Amino acid sequence: MVNAPIHDLLIRLKNAYMARKKTVEWVQYSKFKIQVLELLKRFRFVDSFDVVGEDAKRTISIKLHVTWNIVEDVPVVKMFSKPSRRWYIWWQDIRPVAWGRGIGILSTSQWLMASHEAKKKKIWGELIAEIY
């Protein structure tokens, strides 16, 4: 049992990039993880993903980008919210992640979005993690 499934997903992706894997298999399915993966796909942190199986036995298979330079291609993941301590951020306090090279994953009233999008829409929410 994993207490923080989104953190588990992000760390699995980072470890797979560090090991120069091409795919991440057997990630337990949830709608929230799918939304995080769609956000990561849109900002080119993952190549693609597929839902495998049916009903209660669904898993996610994630295809990663090819890494040429391990120093520059491996994403850095900083976790903020935890199950024991939620990290809420007001829209005025949102800062660029890694000088605009990364994204902050923000859970808002309008579902998940990147931190710079939330700042444009003037929406606050729970800062889950930053990836750059």
pLDDT band at 95 (very low <50, low <70, confident <90, very high): very high
pLDDT score of 132 more than 60:
yes
CA distance 93 to 115: 10
Pick the CATH number of 5-131 from 3.50.50.100, 1.10.340.30, 3.30.1490.10, 3.40.50.261: 3.30.1490.10
Q: Give domain limits for the chain.
A: 5-131
pLDDT band at 67 (very low <50, low <70, confident <90, very high): confident
Give the global pTM. Answer: 0.90
Per-residue pLDDT at 71? 72
pLDDT score of 92 more than 70:
yes
- 82-120: string of b/e by CB count within 10 Å (b at 16+)? eeeeeeebebeebeebeeeebbbbbbbeeebbbbbbbbe
- Mean pLDDT, residues 106-129: 95
